Amino acid sequence: MRRGRAVVSIAAIAVILCVVAFALGCGEGAPSYRLTVTFNTSVTQAGMDEVSGLLREFDSGADMLVTETFPPVGHVTLKTDAPDFCGRIESDLGKLSFVQNVTCELLDGGGDGG
């Protein structure tokens, strides 16, 4: 009887390890995007904060680096599984009066390049 339990325990451990390995392999999943937001001369700190907030809706860890030029340019790399991310974010940010240009580039992981 002990041998049967040992085989069942080993099988259970093997299944758990396979599930964990699969999850870790898929966890890398969300593609990375590089986004550049060129603001115009009417941008304020509140406007830049608004853009950062919109980007964090896709990736809570996204941290936009804003250059100290004028008008400023924001750069961010983020991960998201959002469908048509580049098309959507370029459209959404392009509607803001203080944004001059938005570029989005897929870095890895398939999906859209916008």
What does 37-100 look like in DSSP terms, one character per residue?
EEE-TT--HHHHHHHHHHHHTT-TT---EE-SSSS-EEEEEEE---TTHHHHHHHHHHTSTTEE
Tens-digit pLDDT profile for residues 38-53: 999 999 999 999 999 9
Residues 55-72: pLDDT tens digits? 999 999 999 999 989 999
Predicted TM-score (pTM) of this structure: 0.68
What number of other Cβ atoms are within 10 A of residue 108's Cβ? 11
Is the per-residue pLDDT at 74 higher than 50? Answer: yes
* Three-state SS at 103: strand
Sign of the C-alpha dihedral, residues 24, 25, 30, 36?
positive
Over 80: is that where the pLDDT of 19 sits? Answer: no
Range of the domain at 3: 1-28
What pLDDT score does 61 carry?
93
Q: Domain of 45: which CATH number?
A: 3.30.70.1150
Residues 10 and 55 occupy one common structural domain = no
